[in-house]
Chains A and B, each alone.
Chain A
Amino acid sequence: MQTARSESVSVAASLLRSWRRIRIGDALFRLVVATFGLSVLVLAALMVWQLFFESHESISTFGWGFLTGTKWDPVSRVFGAAPAIYGTLVSSLIAIFLAVPVSLGAAIYLSEMAPPWLRHPASFLVESLAAIPSVVFGLWGIYVLIPWIRHPVETSLGGHLSFLPLFSGPPFGVGMLAAGVILAIMILPIITAIARDSLLAVPSSQREAMLALGATKWEMISRAVLQYCRSGLVGAVLLGLGRALGETMAVTMVIGKTYDINTSLFAPASTAASQIASEFSEASFRLYTSALMELGLILLGITLLVNVAARLLVWRIARSPGEIVE
């Protein structure tokens, strides 16, 4: 009687112990992992908040006029972001204009046309371009790209098309055009890789149906495949754009530096990122630092907007029904 009772007590106690161990272990683990997971959200929120906090002085001094102000003059303590915003947008648009046709073409080749033995190595090579550090692109830009842009690119563009304001003025080499070209090279692998993945997500039944109707290979690609995954392709382009907008080192090294808005693409310019990179350590008073922080905040705002749009589009294609080829 006595022993049976103590036995049942000890069994109950050990059950309780193991139950608690299980629950406590799981609860602790959940807590730890949730901390890591939620740190992603906290980090994003804290970064935005910190930029707001640091740019407070500039926001209260210039208000909305900061966005449209064309004068950036540390000596007289007047700061306007328009030249930097203009430079950011124009250099990225040049990059998109140059990179999109090439990267979509490359993506189509890699997903639809290349012989199977070539697909993986060729994709690997194109994506390797994304692994080269930005500063190395910048170095290459200074010593190889800029001399080439100055002559023959700018001399011949200026020679034949100088009636366009875009191509007027002396060929500097350093400037908006050089920044656009280097950005185009840098976003090429990103757009290619994501566009290729979108193309591969198109069900092969779509291709077969089009071919069965007697379409040629190009008709099949342009009418069936590209139509089917166009939101993924737009997403790919937007992701490239997001990267181009925020790219810093290579642009800083080849864009020259100016506080003016020039219509000519040959002229030096500044982007939001390059202006922060080249001036932040020289900012000698609070308002100057604060204005650069606000520039960072604007840059963050633009890139977040573009990235959110891009992710939504890429997600839609990834979640749409259809078999994944490969």
Chain B
Amino acid sequence: MLGLCATSAFLAIGVLALILGYVLFNGISYINFDFFTQLPKPAGESGGGVSNAIAGSLLTVGIAAAIGIPFGIGAGVFVAEMAGPRLAAVVRFTADVLTGVPSIVVGIVVYSWLVLKMGHFSALAAAVALAIIMLPIMARSSEEMLKLVPQSQREAALALGVTRWRTILSVVIPAARRGLITGGLLAVARAAGETAPLLFTALGNQFWSLSIAGKPIDALPLRIYQYGTGPYNSQHEQAWAAAFVLVTVVFCISLASRLLLTRRG
């Protein structure tokens, strides 16, 4: 049995290596300069790139982070510092459960909130969907990080006559800074790879667009989905290249956050 346990651990790592190996090996051979700088070619033609998708992903994830991270940290502060124990438990539990809501459900809800009301697919709708996914993750991680700040630091500030809100803003949050950044990075990494909530909010776009509210926008995960399921070989190659870029970005972010957290000790 002990041997089987060890085997399963290495099986899990083996599967990871297999998937990453394929993505890296296949992706790197199709990556070139054009991939980052050109717009998509009409279907079936080779060449071209996904510059619009990269820009679109940066834009939507950026807006999502600008909404989701402050909301998440605020909710974390509320639960860790301000709320009574019962309310804190309710908010914490709801946030935990919200992290389990399927992302496609978030997608269709935001579709009926924003896309139907505004009349078009947009980067804003996509960003709101991603922010909804980031919010509970950010709230839970920032609560945990704020709890790690020693109680004595809060008491010291309060004893000096500093108000509660100044204590939290200028003592507690700076002390938990690194943990909060880690949580934010992980939430961004998660949002960058999400596809399902973008299907009916961002929609995808063949052309260059950085419009926030008026037009559909492209995103890297959407490109992978469309090209990966498309009929042409040239599209498959670009899907692998896009997967390579996406995986690299996501892994660099999570690695950076991990290094940030371990360096504290």
Interface residues of A (CB under 8 A from B): 22, 25-26, 28-30, 32-41, 43-44, 47, 50-51, 54, 101-106, 108-110, 112-114, 122, 124-126, 128-129, 131-140, 142-144, 185, 188-189, 192, 217-218, 222, 239, 242-243, 245-249, 253, 273, 276-277, 280-281, 292-293, 296, 299-300, 303-304, 306-308, 310-311
Contacts and interface: CB of A to CB of B under 8 A. Distances in A.
A303 B228 contact: no
Given A33-B77, A34-B78, A292-B108, A128 B195 contact: no
B8 A103 contact: yes
Interface of B: 1-2, 4-9, 11-13, 15-16, 18-20, 22-23, 70-75, 77-79, 81-83, 87, 90-91, 93-98, 100-106, 108-109, 111-113, 132, 135-136, 139, 163-166, 168-169, 189, 192-196, 199-200, 203, 221, 224-225, 228-229, 236, 239-240, 243, 246-247, 250-251, 254, 258
A268 B6 CA distance: 35
Contacts of A47: 101, 105-106, 109
A280 B20 CA distance: 31
A307 B239 contact: no
Contacts of B106: 47
Contacts of B229: 142, 253
A29 B172 CA distance: 14
B74 A37 contact: yes
A307 B97 contact: yes
Nearest to B98: A44
A51 B105 contact: yes
Contacts of B81: 33
A109 B6 contact: yes
B136 A40 contact: yes
30 contacts: A29-B164, A36-B71, A36-B73, A40-B91, A40-B98, A43-B98, A50-B113, A102-B11, A109-B9, A114-B6, A126-B12, A126-B16, A128-B251, A128-B254, A129-B19, A131-B254, A135-B195, A136-B193, A136-B247, A139-B224, A139-B239, A139-B243, A140-B22, A143-B236, A248-B102, A249-B221, A253-B229, A273-B196, A277-B104, A280-B108
B224 A136 contact: yes
Given A248-B104, A276-B104, A105 B109 contact: no
Contacts of B224: 135-136, 138-139
B101 A132 contact: no
Contacts of A143: 22, 236
A103 B106 CA distance: 28
A51 B22 CA distance: 39
Contact of B228 (A44, A135, A222, A247): A135
A285 B193 CA distance: 31
Contact of B104 (A102, A133, A246): A246
Nearest to A188: B12
A229 B103 CA distance: 30
Contact of B82 (A33, A39, A249): A33
Contact of A253 (B22, B101, B169, B225): B225
Contacts of A50: 109, 112-113
Given A128-B254, A131-B250, A281-B200, A300 B101 contact: yes
B104 A37 contact: no
Given A22-B163, A133-B246, A246-B100, 13 more contacts: A34-B82, A35-B74, A41-B91, A126-B13, A133-B250, A134-B193, A139-B228, A217-B2, A218-B1, A218-B2, A307-B100, A311-B96, A311-B97
B262 to A, nearest CB: 9
Contacts of B239: 139
A6 to B, nearest CB: 26
B15 to A, nearest CB: 6
Contacts of B105: 47, 51, 246, 296, 299-300
A122 B111 CA distance: 40
B235 to A, nearest CB: 11
Given A40-B75, A135-B193, A136-B243, A296 B104 contact: yes
B249 to A, nearest CB: 10
B199 A37 contact: no
A131 to B, nearest CB: 5
B164 A304 contact: no
Given A25-B163, A30-B82, A138-B228, A109 B15 contact: no
Given A102-B11, A132-B250, A41 B103 contact: no
B9 A300 contact: no
Nearest to B106: A47
Contacts of A140: 19, 22-23
Contacts of A246: 100-105
Contact of A128 (B16, B77, B78): B16
A20 B134 CA distance: 36
A37 B75 contact: yes
